[in-house]
Structure 1
Amino acid sequence: MKLQYAAGIDIGTQGTKAALFSLDGRKVSETFERSRLIYGGPGEVCQNAGDIYGSVLRTVSGLMKKANVPPEQVAAIGIDGQMAGIMAVDSDFEAVGPYDSWLDTRCEPHINKMKDKAGDEVVRRTGGQITYAHGPKILWRKAERQAEYEKIAKFVLPGVYVAGKLCGLKAEDAWIDYTHLHFSGFADNRRKQWDEGLLSEFGIGKERMPEIVSPWKIVGRLTEQAAKACGLTPETKVAAGCGDSAASALGAGIVEKDMIYDVAGTASIFSCSTDRFTPDLKSETLLFSRSVIDGLYTPLAYIGGGGLCLKWFLEQNGKDYAYWNEQAEKLEAGCGGLYFVPHFSGRTCPNDPRVRGAYWGLSFQHTTAHMYRSIMESIACEYAYYFSILKRHNPGISPKYIYGAGGGARSRIFCQIKADALGVPYRPLREADTAVYASAMLAAYGVGIIDDLKAAMKPSLGEETVLPDKDRYEIYRKKKKNYVNLLETLGTFRGEIRRGE
């Protein structure tokens, strides 16, 4: 029987999504299950490994029930997942402890230790800044969970854990794909290998680090038990997969250099593709991530809770996004001098835990609508700052468009503000959830039923291109400068307050 379908699974912060696609890119069915985030003590955010795996079994099973497709025709599964968090397995691929979320900040002391000991070298080798990601989280676990640490055979990502369980693998089979290396803390990103000098410097045994592979590598087949739970067959193959941001960019068609990509979701992520690996040693802001397309990089920076700030606003003030977008659209650019700081959990790019959320510049002329619009303007100012750094690294970069995905890309006023702040036309994608499509096509490519991965990634564009306005660009150019100065001032101020406590 001809193999005609591939499934993609996206293990996100808010939940697990699965979708089934035919080889021509048509979505056949999809399912979603919300995540259960566990908030413990100060800074603690984690997920139960069993919850993550169970969510995949249930969403794929639901997918197949909806699709009414013979399971024998589903060739492969591809999985993408959260990137900066880390988990671990023992020799039998059983989870050792929970998944330490990217939102978890308990590793903060080890961020400072890594910076003090070899900060520039970590950035130079990995391409990523030292933040709440694998390196500091591994060091935190070694220092604070010693008994647990001794049981660890390999550190893995959530998508790898799920794939390993689906295929009945052992720790010796564990892997990490190269799109995660900028978050690793210990890898030579350019060479796609572990850096033995960094591992030795921080006392991490290389034997605990998984093999580095290409995202389309086929890592196994479903076990009888997993196939039955998913409604598939043991002949269904599983690909190594990649990070969720990498999958999202790939599915959006970011496969050539000089393409800006905006993920307007829980996190607000700005990236722009380039064929040059130029780690950001000076401003310590951009993370030089690898694209799934080998030889292409997608340097990025993000606000940990950009989209969450808009959600927070709605929770405090009622009404829906449509209402507040309409109110914001009536206001002039600049919000009458009102600034908002979206770093409720600390600034990530660059890392500065002293910075916290704030409104600054409030006056009696400001309304609740100004407060809503200022959240969007703050995110756009961050993006403009990120873009200015990228242009210093790559003076010849000349993107034609910003390609936007995520819920925020459905807001015309948000798209307009970003276009104005960056001076680049904004093209919203019709399909906001591009990651599951990319993961499915990666798996199809891995088993050889599609032969051109780049050709399969054709962005589904919305009908309207939002053009920037020159006058508003000048307003935001000045506001961006003031905004960055405000962040630095607030960080210094809070540092002084904390020292005085």
Structure 2
Amino acid sequence: MVSLTPTVTIGLDCGTGGARAMICDLNGRVLATAACEYRTEYPKSGWATQNPQDWWSACCQAVREAMRIAEVSPSQVAAICADGTSSTLLMLDEDGEPIGEAILWMDNRASPQAQRIGATGHPALRRSRAGVSAETAIPKILWLKENRPELYARARWFIELADFIALRLSGELTLGQNHTINRWFYSPRDGGWPEDFFERIGLGGITRFFPERMPVLGEAIGPVCAMAAAEMGLTRQTIVVCGGTDAYVATVGLNTLKPGDTALITGTSHLVLPTIDADVEILGLFGPHPDCVAPGRYVMEGGQVSTGAVLRWWHELSNGGGAGIEATLHEAEAVPLGANGLVALDFWQGNRNPYTDYDLQGALWGMTLKHTRADITRALMEAVCLGTANILRCISGQGLPVNSMTVAGAALRSRFWLQMHADTAGIDLLIPEVGEATVFGAAITAAVGLGAYASLDEAARKMVRIRDRIEPDRENHERYRALMELYIQTHSALSPLMHDMAERSRSAMAT
């Protein structure tokens, strides 16, 4: 039976672990969601890769399943928009086909290249005062040129995950402005690409490998192509809309677009994204990124590379993958604040902010024979929360107070962990009605590209609703302030040893 539901849009979120499709009406009512997983390979220490064809297969399966659940006909789907993990880089040949595996966002093999780029001090680095992230596309492209010249020579185009899905959907080759502004050093206000900067770092002429068409977030790209319509079960009348970086698209799904709003995106990684109206630099954070979501506004970014990923790793290691991760997290509720004297650092894949140091590694100390699995789980959960609070400390310490954060993602599954985030940060958390804000944001963005709303602001205001607020426990907050000092001191003490170990690992891989 096909429902009488009117026009709908589809959001596609291509995350680290898989693709998720969400079908919404134009009032923000969610009709169905469906997901399909894909694999990540870790071929060497610090490396992470994925197969681009797996992305497309997962997207097709997720969309077909969501449409089945929602009982919508292909003719009802007016627009579709895809977001993707940021700085997941892939090379295309002349025919638009992937060359090799995609280098995943969390892959930090380009750490030496990122450090060399940062050392140039070029004005193009203004929004990377914290340091150049090894996760981003430009250091990865430089790594490919220096270490895989045979692959680099075959490349005709460099794009990101979201661009690849847009290409498969529409047949149009594009490079979205959302991620090029916040990750590729693109600056429309300053004339576009910093050609002299690329020349200086050893990538002269690289922009000829970047697609010329660069749509903004929410811009219509074109209709679904015949191949995509057949494989996904859509019609040629469905409009493909430009998406972007998953976390930035989530700010649309949370309606944190006004100056003073802050999003906390949780999942495999964490991001703190304040929206501001002034061109203000904050030491230790990336940005301010102008016009990458809403025109006339800036987004600051503070991120943690491995948060939910650490807890998933620990769950699988300690449980053999048995039961669900929620049960593992629930065990930690019986452990007192401070994890019975354990202190951890959440740097399993390095640190994005505020240290921007991809030679850092995870750590856990204070162990005795009395400690349990639940103690370690609590220590890891607290390390993630302290890492988030450390980013907020940098923001507020430089005159930009954050009074609340609107939360999206995996942390919403655990009220206990949400309360821990509120207690460590000492601020209120706002809980949206639709917690899967990334894929929801893509569906909202699709509605804007369709023309149903005049702007992302209007669409988010009409389609997003808040259902709850979590306030911090002030007594616990004071206790966490003491733990924060231990967290910071642990980083300072172990950092030299971690740098030495990272160099040893690189030397071992080179031999």
- Secondary structure (helix, strand or coil) at the match of 2:176 reads strand
Q: State the aligned residue count.
A: 491
Pairing 1:256–2:255 present: no
Q: Distance in 2 between matches of 1:376 and 1:190?
A: 40
- Secondary structure (helix, strand or coil) at the match of 2:259 reads coil
Distance 1:128-1:86 versus aligned 2 partners, 3 A rule: farther
Pairing 1:95–2:110 present: no
Q: Is the 8 A contact 1:127 1:288 kept in 2?
A: no
Q: Which amino acid aligns with 1:343?
A: F
Q: Distance in 1 between matches of 2:138 and 2:497?
A: 28
Q: Distance in 1 between matches of 2:359 and 2:436?
A: 33
Q: Distance in 2 between matches of 1:372 and 1:456?
A: 39
Q: Which amino acid aligns with 1:117?
A: T
Q: Which amino acid aligns with 1:467?
A: E
Q: Which amino acid aligns with 1:197?
A: D
Distance 1:483-1:207 versus aligned 2 partners, 3 A rule: same
Q: Which amino acid aligns with 1:17?
A: R
| Residues 356-395 of structure 1 mapped to structure 2, 5 A cutoff | 356-363=361-368, 366-393=371-398, 395=399
| Residues 388-467 of structure 1 mapped to structure 2, 5 A cutoff | 388-393=393-398, 395-399=399-403, 401-457=404-460, 458-463=463-468, 465-467=469-471
| Residues 163-242 of structure 1 mapped to structure 2, 5 A cutoff | 163-169=166-172, 173-184=173-184, 186-188=185-187, 191=190, 193-202=192-201, 203-205=203-205, 206-211=207-212, 212-242=214-244
Q: Distance in 2 between matches of 1:16 and 1:344?
A: 24
1:159 paired residue number: 162
- Secondary structure (helix, strand or coil) at the match of 2:276 reads coil
Q: Is the 8 A contact 2:346 2:387 kept in 1?
A: no
Distance 1:5-1:279 versus aligned 2 partners, 3 A rule: same
Stretch of structure 1 that moved more, 73-82 or 334-343: 334-343
2:350 paired residue number: 346
Q: Which digits, 9 at most, give the CA deviation of each residue in 1:372-410, with x for residues without a partner? A: 2111211121112111211234x15342x2222212122
Q: Is the 8 A contact 1:126 1:188 kept in 2?
A: no
| Residues 51-200 of structure 1 mapped to structure 2, 5 A cutoff | 51-118=54-121, 121-125=123-127, 129-131=131-133, 132-169=135-172, 173-184=173-184, 186-188=185-187, 191=190, 193-200=192-199
Please, what TM-score do these two structures have when normalized by structure 2?
0.88
Q: Distance in 2 between matches of 1:498 and 1:93?
A: 36
Structure 2, unaligned stretches of length 5 or more? none
Q: Which digits, 9 at most, give the CA deviation of each residue in 1:343-391, with x for residues without a partner? A: 1222232232332222122346644332221112111211121112112
Q: Which amino acid aligns with 1:390?
A: I
Q: Is the 8 A contact 1:21 1:440 kept in 2?
A: yes
Distance 1:18-1:387 versus aligned 2 partners, 3 A rule: same
Please, what TM-score do these two structures have when normalized by structure 1?
0.90
Q: Distance in 1 between matches of 2:370 and 2:286?
A: 36
- Following TM superposition, by how much is the alpha carbon of 1:189 offset from its aligned partner in structure 2, in angstroms? 6.7
Q: Is the 8 A contact 2:215 2:221 kept in 1?
A: no
Identity of aligned pairs, percent? 24
Q: Which amino acid aligns with 1:474?
A: E
Distance 1:426-1:365 versus aligned 2 partners, 3 A rule: farther
Q: Distance in 1 between matches of 2:35 and 2:501?
A: 44
Q: Which digits, 9 at most, give the CA deviation of each residue in 1:95-135, with x for residues without a partner? A: 233211112222222112212233x6343056774122111
Q: Distance in 2 between matches of 1:5 and 1:204?
A: 45
1:484 to 469, 476, 488: 488
Distance 1:376-1:201 versus aligned 2 partners, 3 A rule: same
Q: Is the 8 A contact 1:10 1:17 kept in 2?
A: yes
Structure 1, unaligned stretches of length 5 or more? none
- Secondary structure (helix, strand or coil) at the match of 2:298 reads coil
Q: Distance in 1 between matches of 2:443 and 2:328?
A: 36
Q: Distance in 1 between matches of 2:195 and 2:38?
A: 36
1:273 paired residue number: 275
Q: Is the 8 A contact 1:80 1:241 kept in 2?
A: yes
- Secondary structure (helix, strand or coil) at the match of 1:351 reads coil
Distance 1:320-1:95 versus aligned 2 partners, 3 A rule: closer
- Following TM superposition, by how much is the alpha carbon of 1:10 offset from its aligned partner in structure 2, in angstroms? 0.7
- Secondary structure (helix, strand or coil) at the match of 1:97 reads strand
1:245 paired residue number: 247
- Following TM superposition, by how much is the alpha carbon of 1:179 offset from its aligned partner in structure 2, in angstroms? 4.1
Give the CA RMSD over aligned residues.
Answer: 2.6
Stretch of structure 1 that moved more, 411-420 or 469-478: 469-478
Q: Distance in 1 between matches of 2:199 and 2:370?
A: 58
Q: Which digits, 9 at most, give the CA deviation of each residue in 1:238-288, with x for residues without a partner? A: 1111110011121012111222322221112222222233344x43x4454
Q: Which digits, 9 at most, give the CA deviation of each residue in 1:36-81, with x for residues without a partner? A: 2233244332122222222222322333333332322221111100
